[in-house]
Amino acid sequence: MLILKLKYFVHYYKSKILKKKCKKNYKDQKIKFESDIKEKNFSNKWFLNNFDIFNFFLPKDKNSKFDYLEVGCFEGLSSFFVLSEYKAINAILLDIWDMPNPNSKTLSHNFNSIEKAFDNNLSGFNFTKIKDDSVVAMRKLFKQNKSFDFIYIDGSHNGEDILSDAIEAFKILKKEGLIFFDDFLQYDKNRALQSYDGIEKFLNLYSNYLKIEYFQNNLVVRKK
Ligand SMILES: C[S@@+](CC[C@H](N)C(=O)[O-])C[C@H]1O[C@@H](n2cnc3c(N)ncnc32)[C@H](O)[C@@H]1O
């Protein structure tokens, strides 16, 4: 991980400054969001760690009509934020809500109740829900000629899975579109391949076709 950070040191350093700015700029909005979700059924609030920077990369125009894909929704916290903020969004929300690939680290949850919480938390919003493995689903979306302006990848954090997700997502990303990756610099001793191992391969393979917009524990890339 150290070598990766050194390789992308300029991005890492600039992003650190941006992160600080965003934390300050979105402070009030984050407090309001935390209060808005009090009545909802969210047992895990991982998304709050990404709140500021995620917000920064979403369209500034709240009436924007854009194509959004989320890979890994769990109880729908990040989805809830996007759907509440952008009324004209065209969102596809995808999760397996089941045991993932055998090589992936599984979350020890009852996925029936997680999926029910997702359905309840997001009732009243307009979106397309897909229950499937991410790679399988994204290949189907590709065949249907679907493409997206913004793809949030927050599915399996195993290095192999994140690499496959990145490759499939890149195929269905529009020119100038963004992919936002969650938690990619996190080390987990139970993973054979770390998230950053997968991401490093992705960055090497696609370096001529993308621009790095943000490089901290989240990675944001833009398709050239
Ligand atoms: C960290 S959670 C997502 C958190 C969510 N974005 C939020 O804001 O709370 C990861 C999710 O990825 C899903 N997942 C894991 N592997 C997957 C796969 N291969 N295909 C689709 N979803 C997967 C899990 O079921 C889990 O719900």
Q: What is the pLDDT of residue 163?
A: 97
DSSP 8-state secondary structure symbol assigned to residue 159: H
How many angstroms separate the alpha carbon of residue 60 from the centre of ligand 1? 26
- The Cα diameter of the chain in Å comes to 46
Q: Is 180 in the pocket of ligand 1 (CB under 6 A)?
A: no
CATH number of the domain that 63 lies in? Answer: 3.40.50.150
Q: What is the pLDDT of residue 104?
A: 67
How many angstroms separate the alpha carbon of residue 76 from the centre of ligand 1? 10
Q: What is the pLDDT of residue 87?
A: 96
Exposure b/e, 115-144, CB count within 10 A at least 16 = b:
bebbeebbeebebebbeebbbebbeebeee
What is the domain extent for residue 158? 2-38+47-223
Query: Could you give the number of structural domains in the chain?
Result: 1
- Residue closest via CA to ligand 1's atom 19 equals 133
Mutate to test the pocket of ligand 1, among 48, 82, 95, 152 (most ligand atoms within 8 A of CB): 95
Amino acid at residue number 57: F
Half-sphere exposure of 208 (CA within 13 A, CB side): 1
Q: What is the pLDDT of residue 101?
A: 73
Q: How far apart are CA 138 and CA 171, in angstroms?
A: 9
Give the strands of the sheet with 90-95, arranged side by side.
128-131, 90-95, 67-71, 148-153, 173-181, 219-223, 210-215
Mean pLDDT for each consecutive 10-residue tract of the chain (224 residues)? 90 97 97 95 95 97 97 98 98 93 71 96 97 98 98 95 97 98 91 93 97 97 98
CA neighbor of 107 nearest in space, from 69, 153, 155, 151: 155
Q: Is 101 in the pocket of ligand 1 (CB under 6 A)?
A: yes
Q: How far apart are CA 219 and CA 216, in angstroms?
A: 6
Q: What is the pLDDT of residue 105?
A: 64
Q: What is the pLDDT of residue 80?
A: 98
Q: How far apart are CA 74 and CA 126, in angstroms?
A: 18
How many angstroms separate the alpha carbon of residue 154 from the centre of ligand 1? 6
CA neighbor of 94 nearest in space, from 145, 134, 66, 143: 134
Q: Which atom of ligand 1 is least distant from the CA of 98?
A: 25
